[in-house]
Amino acid sequence: MWRIGLKVAPVFAGMVCVSLTVPAQESKHFRVEHSSKYQTVTLDYSASTGICYLAQGDQQDPVAVYSARDIDDFNHSFNRQQEGNTLKVSLSLDEKNTESFSQSISNKVFAKTKPEDNIWKVMLAREVPYNLNLTYGIGEAYIDLSGLSVASLKVKTGSADVHVGYLNGRPNTIPMENMVIRVDLGNVKVRQLYLANVRNINAEVGFGNMLLDMAEPMHRPCNVHASVGAGTLEILIPRDGTPVIIKIKESMLCDVRLTKSFTETGDNVFTNTAYSASARDALEFEVDVSFGTIIFKEKR
């Protein structure tokens, strides 16, 4: 599993545990002080490059951002304002002289840059309810939501590879109304969704790839709206007991793959044996596929 540390951060990539060496000379570049004047925090965070971590920290401050990088190497903006009981925080990091997309791919292939030289860590507080809006350009992002209070989550990636999960097995402490995941050219893996306590999921895939791990029972109704352009969306679902209904809007050029446990009960409507109109805690999927591929797999 990937975790956040001061010197070593093991990164979970598939089934392989990789260690990234993180420089010890980290500085706290941005900070939002704890206050009883606000009850929720909306965080708009964007990073154009680098390896970005987000997780619960040990501090009471609702937002603290660390890096070993010199902040003068980046164009950055950091704003905060209070609206009613909500504190709105906006942080944007854009490296000066940012290389083009083709240059970044070339550097990855020929190892001209060191990923561990460009690491940012965003640490959040346990007790504060958050609305998180996270945007990543090029690089990697690791989002550990264990034990946090997330009311809504939006993740958007250009060509970055993004991992979302609950590494310590601690669920979201409040109901999450909406989760929005958008991928253009990158890859996104969202694991342990049964711990998210989420009602609605919106997944949008352009040319990239996305994995939604819903293999464990959610124990509550959940609606998933998914659209796939020319990329691939893979959804893991429970094998037995969980009612599932899938409604598909497809084109002639798309590829939709279902397991044998589903039968067509209407025009492009498929259900498993556990589903009925009165079923509780059902997973409902509405899928729109253009040229891409969507795959439903059952837990092994």
| 245 DSSP β-pair partners | 271, 284
Write down the pLDDT at residue 97.
63
Domain boundaries, the chain: 22-171
Write down the pLDDT at residue 118.
83
**pTM for the structure as a whole:** 0.87
Write down the pLDDT at residue 287.
93
Write down the pLDDT at residue 71.
82
CA dist., res. 84 & res. 87, Å (int): 8
Write down the pLDDT at residue 22.
42
Write down the pLDDT at residue 117.
65
Write down the pLDDT at residue 20.
39
Write down the pLDDT at residue 4.
47
124 and 56 in contact (C-beta within 8 Å)? yes
Write down the pLDDT at residue 2.
52
Write down the pLDDT at residue 276.
92
203 and 213 in contact (C-beta within 8 Å)? no
**Residue 216 in 3-state DSSP?**
coil
- 55-101 pLDDT, tens digit per residue, is 999 889 999 999 988 888 888 899 999 999 999 999 999 987 655 44
Write down the pLDDT at residue 83.
92
Write down the pLDDT at residue 96.
74
Low-confidence residues of the chain: pLDDT under 50: 4-23, 100-101, 104-115
| DSSP at 22 | -
